[in-house]
Each structure stands twice: as C-alpha cells, then as structure tokens.
Amino acid sequence: MLEIRELACAYGKIEALRNVSLSAKAGEVTCLLGPNGAGKTTLMMTLAGILQPTHGSITFEGESLLGLSPAQIVDRGLALVPENRLVFPALSVRENLMAGAYRRKDRAAIASDIEHQLERFPRLRERIDQLAGTLSGGEQQMLALARALMSRPRLLLMDEPSVGLAPKVVAEIFGIVRQLHAEGTSIFLVEQNVHMALKVAQHFFLLQQGRVTFSGTPTELAEDDVIQRAYLAGAERKPEATEA
C-alpha cells in the first residue's frame, strides 16, 4: 500500500533521514519505533507533504507522492494525526471536525460522519461546542484522531498518540486503534510505547539516527536482544510524565 524507498530528508545541512526504506500493507497496523531524534516525526511530515525529501521515493497505492502538496496528499487518502495533537485551539470541537472534512463536498455524508465520530468518541459529544484549546490532552488526542478520520483516509498516519497522556487515556486511544483496524482501516503508527504497540501492530520497523535498523513481526521484535534492553525492559521501569 505504502512503499518508501531510499528516502532522505534534511533540515539545511543536517540530515534527518538517510536511505530509509520501509512499507506498510493494506489492512495492517504497521508500527515505527525509535528513540527521540531518530527522525520519526520528520518521516511523518514528509509523508504528509509538509517536508520535501532530498532523495528517494514514496508511492501510495502505486502513485508517487513526491512533489504533492499536503492538500493533494489528503485527497489521495492519507491523513496524519500529528504528535502533540495540533488541534485548532480557537475553533469549537464541531468546527475542528468540519475542518477535517474540508476537502469533501458531500454535505450529508459529512454530517453523518460527524455523528459517527461523536458515537466513537462520546466525550467529544459532551464538548461539541467547546473550544478545542480548552479540552484535556486526552480529549484533544481524540479530537485530532476524529478530525483525521473525517477525511475518510485509506491510510491513517499516527505520530506518537500516547505521548504525554495518562495510562488510562493511552489504553482508551489504543482501544480505538484496535477498533479502527478491525473496521479495515490501514494504520501507520509511530510509537515509543512498545508494550501498547505490540498489542495492535502486525509489523514493526525500528528507526535509529535516521536509518531503519530493524524490520520484523511482533514475535521477532520481542526476541531481539537490543530492542528488549532498549525498549521492553526499560519501558516498564521508566516513569512517564502524564496528562489526563
């Protein structure tokens, strides 16, 4: 579904991604792991068309995404739920959802999709006319996810949906990821919470210092010594700053 080949991206002279090659299959949850500064967000921003690569190719369902604007990429069926949510703080929850469907023209279907998202996220219904900036971190994450789904993406890109959230909210978010997967949505997930990712993903990649250093199934991931030490063992001991 998504094929990335020898992708390189730089901020001026600083290389953020070097020869990154990976893929995501239709109907699967593909997870990209990696420490801070590995280039995960750069990769997601490049997939969303915000950044332009210096080398390599990105194809989605056989069509190149290179040189396309973010709006054209949304039209092709990709939607990114960015790190730290990035909702529209001065717009209401309803307006955020409507902004997510801006590329669509089918008004009746948009209204129906808003209702569907409010069923999926009941807490958003309670806050439908509230400004998004006044929501809690967890509610903003739900809103960012619901807004991305409003464009009816064929591939949902999620950049660290668990960051800064309380464990209960993280469990709720991953429950929704499982639900979306069960409904047939393909998901490309960037995550540092390996324990949660193992419960939802069918394939893993590890990105370190701008390069892909591991590719495998959840079983292969769990058996990898380096990943065991760096992520699985450490994650249990490491306390996280959380926000409800």
Partner 1 sequence: MDFLQRTLDGLLEAGPYALVGLGLTLGFGLLHRVNLAYGASAMLGAYAGSWLHVRLDWPVWAVLPCVVLATALAGLYVQWLCFPDTDRATGSVQRASSVVSGADSREVVALASSFAVWMQLEQLCVNLLPRHLNPFPDIASTHEWSLGPLGLRPDRLVMCIAAAGLVMWVARWIHTNRTGLALRAAADHPLAAHLSGLRVPQLQRWGFVLASGLSGVAACAVLALEGQVTPMFGMWMLMKGLAAAMIGGLGNLRGLLWSAALLGVAEAHAQALFGPLGRDAATWGLLLLALLLRSARKTSWAPAGGLHA
Residues that bind partner 1 (CB under 8 A): 9-12, 41, 45, 48-52, 54, 67, 69-71, 74-75, 79-80, 82, 86-91, 95, 98-100, 102-103, 131, 133, 147-148, 151
CB closer to partner 1, 69 vs 217: 69
DSSP state for residue 69 in the 8-state scheme? -
CB 158, min distance to partner 1, A: 12
CB closer to partner 1, 103 vs 229: 103
CB 92, min distance to partner 1, A: 10
Q: Under a CB-based contact definition with an 8 Å cutoff, are residues 200 and 177 in contact?
A: yes
CB closer to partner 1, 100 vs 161: 100
CB 120, min distance to partner 1, A: 18
CB closer to partner 1, 79 vs 221: 79
CB closer to partner 1, 6 vs 223: 6
Q: Which two tokens stand for residue 6?
A: 């020898």
Residue at token pair 């409507």: 98
Other Cβ atoms within 10 Å of 232 Cβ, number:
15
Distances (CA, A) of 187 to 48, 66, 227: 14, 20, 22
CB 129, min distance to partner 1, A: 12
E strand segments, 106-195: 155-159, 186-190
* 217 vs 205: CA distance, rounded Å: 9
Other Cβ atoms within 10 Å of 27 Cβ, number:
12
Q: For residue 158, which phi and psi values (nearest 5 degrees)? A: -125, 120
> How, if at all, do strands 2-11 and 55-60 pair?
antiparallel
CB 226, min distance to partner 1, A: 29
Residue at token pair 């955020």: 96
DSSP state for residue 175 in the 8-state scheme? H
CB 45, min distance to partner 1, A: 6
CB 32, min distance to partner 1, A: 18
Cα angle 120, 172, 110 (rounded to 5 degrees) comes to: 20
CB closer to partner 1, 98 vs 176: 98
CB closer to partner 1, 51 vs 194: 51
